[in-house]
Amino acid sequence: MNFDFTEDQEQIRRSVREFAEGEIAPHVREWDEQQKFPVELVPKLAEQGFMGVIFPEEYGGAGMGYVEYVSIIEELSRVDGSVGISVAAHNSLCSNHIYMFGTEEQKQKFLVPLARGEKLGAWGLTEPGAGSDASGTRTTATRREGGWVVNGAKNFITHAINGDTCVAMASTDRPMRSKGITAFIFEKGMKGFAPGKKEDKLGLRASETASIVLEDCFVPDGNQLGAEGLGFIQSMKILDGGRISIADLALGIAQGAYESAVRYSKERQQFGKPISEFQAIQFKLADMATQIDAARLLTYRAAAMKDAGRKTTKESSMAKLFASEISVKVSEEAIQIHGGYGYTKDYPPEKYWRDSKLCTIGEGTSEIQRLIIAKQILSSV
Ligand SMILES: Cc1cc2nc3c(=O)[nH]c(=O)nc-3n(C[C@H](O)[C@H](O)[C@H](O)COP(=O)(O)OP(=O)(O)OC[C@H]3O[C@@H](n4cnc5c(N)ncnc54)[C@H](O)[C@@H]3O)c2cc1C
């Protein structure tokens, strides 16, 4: 067992930190307040290879593994979770669905520009009536000559407005429920494919979340992703990887909140000394550091297993569940350590706390993660 990063991995982490501090940190507050998705950042992320981290170079990617991917999302989210979730949704949901289940032709046509960051990806599983129960997909795809006609709606979709390529699930056989769902690739500009309402969110406000409306949208056969009826099972496999990235998102947010609390506790004086000298504050910091470390170990274990080609359903859910729950706790404690100032927008913890909450909801709520973990445990004994 080896808990050390290689020199290359350390170098990647350092360079992501430098990038995040230089290119993202100065704008975090403005983007959050304006709820502005920073499209201008995408080419800079692409230049660093962050838009195609986990894909081979032959498909325009950076050819890295999940361990490197985790450290990139963690470092970006330490500065701004909105950027972290954008990179995560683009890589491990949309692009990875095409990488894992697309034909060679689809990979060349759709994955290469996504992995190079020339196009932005979105992924649509959730619907107004189908959230935790994704098998309840009501969007329908009906056979027509040369393709399908899709009708329905997807909601809470990251990059629904600025995304160029969207992998979305539709039912091709409603009575079959989960076994009747098929994945399709939609492209910006297709007739009948349009963004709907943009959400006004609690946190991750610079990340774009909106619905997608599908009205008699014709999708050619060439855009069907994998065989008919396999869209649901493909999605569950995609989420096994995606949940590792939500764990990293949570981890990065917790790390950022913790660092701001440590800094502040050394600066803030009360009763004639820095508050870091009070045991009550020291115990909070000790608990926060321990929780972050435990979340990091779970997350990197899941990533290392993924790199080793192992099934990670249980480990991804454990990492996602634990990291997201502690991220909310750690960022709340960071507010407490900042006292009244933590309740204002002059200090970073309130934003970390708002951002952290998504991690207990997106890509399956904490309740759903517990159901998955329990199912995995009980089916293995
Ligand atoms: C910012 C943001 C970005 C997102 N990005 C995307 C995206 O890019 N693509 C995408 O497809 N989706 C996306 N989502 C959707 C997200 O994955 C869903 O919100 C999530 O899966 C929960 O579904 P729901 O909101 O419909 O909640 P519901 O399923 O309605 O859940 C409501 C409550 O009931 C609980 N519950 C439901 N079923 C059970 C059960 N069987 N047992 C116990 N408790 C249960 C839940 O845990 C929750 O507490 C995003 C959401 C947000 C907020």
CB 367 near ligand 1, within 6 Å:
yes
Alpha-carbon distance of 79 to 252, in angstroms, equals 8
Q: What six digits make up the tokens of 157?
A: 């979709």
- Alpha-carbon radius of gyration of the chain: 21
Q: Ligand 1 test: best mutation among 199, 234, 361, most atoms within 8 Å of CB? A: 361
Alpha-carbon distance of 164 to 104, in angstroms, equals 20
Averaged pLDDT of the chain: 97
3-state secondary structure (DSSP) of residue 125 = coil
Residue 201 CA, closest ligand 1 atom number: 1
The CA-atom distances, in angstroms, between 165 and each of 58, 85, 115, 141, 184 are 20, 17, 12, 18, 10
CB 123 near ligand 1, within 6 Å:
yes
Instruction: State the pLDDT confidence band at 334, using cuts at 50, 70 and 90.
Output: very high
CB 139 near ligand 1, within 6 Å:
no
What's the pLDDT score for residue 320?
98
Number of Cβ atoms within 10 Å of the Cβ of 160:
24
pLDDT digits (tens, 9 = 90+) for 15-70: 999 999 999 999 999 999 999 899 999 999 999 999 999 999 999 999 999 999 99
Determine whether 58 is an active site residue.
no
What's the pLDDT score for residue 380?
83
Alpha-carbon distance of 296 to 322, in angstroms, equals 10
pLDDT digits (tens, 9 = 90+) for 74-97: 999 999 999 999 999 999 999 999
Closest by CA position to 368, among listed 98, 132, 191: 132
- d(CA 239, ligand 1 centre) in Å: 13
Instruction: State the pLDDT confidence band at 167, using cuts at 50, 70 and 90.
Output: very high
Q: Ligand 1 test: best mutation among 239, 365, 373, most atoms within 8 Å of CB? A: 365
- d(CA 43, ligand 1 centre) in Å: 30
Note whether 255 and 352 are within 8 A (CB): no
Q: What six digits make up the tokens of 185?
A: 């690739």
Alpha-carbon distance of 73 to 57, in angstroms, equals 20
Instruction: Tell me which of 23, 325, 363, 367 is the catalytic residue.
Output: 363
Residue nearest (by alpha carbon) to ligand 1 atom 4 = 156
CB 363 near ligand 1, within 6 Å:
yes
Residue 154 CA, closest ligand 1 atom number: 11
What's the pLDDT score for residue 315?
98
What's the pLDDT score for residue 302?
98
Note whether 87 and 73 are within 8 A (CB): yes
Per cent of the chain over pLDDT 70 is 100
The CA-atom distances, in angstroms, between 22 and each of 57, 221, 264, 292 are 27, 44, 22, 24
Residue nearest (by alpha carbon) to ligand 1 atom 37 = 132
- d(CA 359, ligand 1 centre) in Å: 11
Residue 365 CA, closest ligand 1 atom number: 47
CB 37 near ligand 1, within 6 Å:
no
Closest by CA position to 72, among listed 45, 107, 33, 42: 45
Closest by CA position to 240, among listed 100, 78, 31, 49: 100
Alpha-carbon distance of 234 to 263, in angstroms, equals 44
* Residue 170 clears pLDDT 90, i.e. is over it: yes
* Residue 2 clears pLDDT 90, i.e. is over it: no
Alpha-carbon distance of 101 to 62, in angstroms, equals 19
Note whether 95 and 121 are within 8 A (CB): yes
pLDDT digits (tens, 9 = 90+) for 200-257: 999 999 999 999 999 999 999 999 999 999 999 999 999 999 999 999 999 999 999 9
Residue nearest (by alpha carbon) to ligand 1 atom 16 = 362
What's the pLDDT score for residue 191?
98
pTM: 0.97
Closest by CA position to 140, among listed 191, 177, 86, 114: 177
What's the pLDDT score for residue 1?
84
> Which run of H or E residues covers position 193?
strand 193-198
What's the pLDDT score for residue 359?
98
- d(CA 366, ligand 1 centre) in Å: 10
- d(CA 368, ligand 1 centre) in Å: 9
How do the residues of the chain divide into helix, strand and coil, expressed in percent and rounded to 5?
A: 60, 15, 25
CB 209 near ligand 1, within 6 Å:
yes
Instruction: State the pLDDT confidence band at 154, using cuts at 50, 70 and 90.
Output: very high
> Which run of H or E residues covers position 151?
strand 147-158
CB 89 near ligand 1, within 6 Å:
yes
Per cent of the chain over pLDDT 90 is 98
pLDDT digits (tens, 9 = 90+) for 276-288: 999 999 999 999 9
Q: Give Dmax (Cα) for the chain.
A: 79
188-193: long-range contacts (C-beta < 8 A, 24 or more apart)? 188/163, 188/164, 190/217, 190/218, 190/219, 191/216, 191/217, 191/218, 192/150, 192/216, 192/217, 192/218, 193/166, 193/217
- d(CA 361, ligand 1 centre) in Å: 6
3-state secondary structure (DSSP) of residue 186 = strand
Number of Cβ atoms within 10 Å of the Cβ of 262:
15
CB 135 near ligand 1, within 6 Å:
no
What's the pLDDT score for residue 56?
98
- d(CA 131, ligand 1 centre) in Å: 5
Cross-strand bridge partners of residue 166: 122, 186
- d(CA 365, ligand 1 centre) in Å: 6
